[in-house]
Amino acid sequence: MTPPTDSKSSARLEARISQETKALVQKAADLQGRTLTDFVVAAIQAEAYRVIEHHQTLKLSREDSEAFVDAILTPPKPNDALKSAALRYKQVMSG
């Protein structure tokens, strides 16, 4: 997912970092032929997307994955409680 590029700034972000960190980030920006600001913005956007994707991705263990697939492929027969709930639902929705 690539964010749209907008050349006009609409918000400001400030951060205090050590001289060593700034020199490191500046060197990385120079190596990519970017301004320091462009490099930092691109880096934080990429990390933000990574963190969001990580938290939105459901990860199951192998055992859980197999149980999920088994439940989908061979669902249990409806018990009395489910049959009763389905009947109540039909009555409510039709009347």
- Least confidently predicted of 2-6, 14-18, 54-58, 85-89: 2-6
Give the pLDDT score at 95: 74
Domains contained in the chain, number = 1
> Does residue 12 lie in a domain region?
no
15 sits in which H/E element: none
89 domain-assigned: yes
For residue 77, name the pLDDT band (cuts at 50, 70, 90).
Answer: very high
Residue 79's domain comprises 19-94
Residue 4 clears pLDDT 70, i.e. is over it: no
Cβ neighbourhood burial of 25 (10 Å; 0-12, 13-18, 19+): middle
Tens of pLDDT, residue by residue over 18-73, are 999 999 999 999 999 999 999 999 999 999 999 999 998 888 899 999 999 999 99
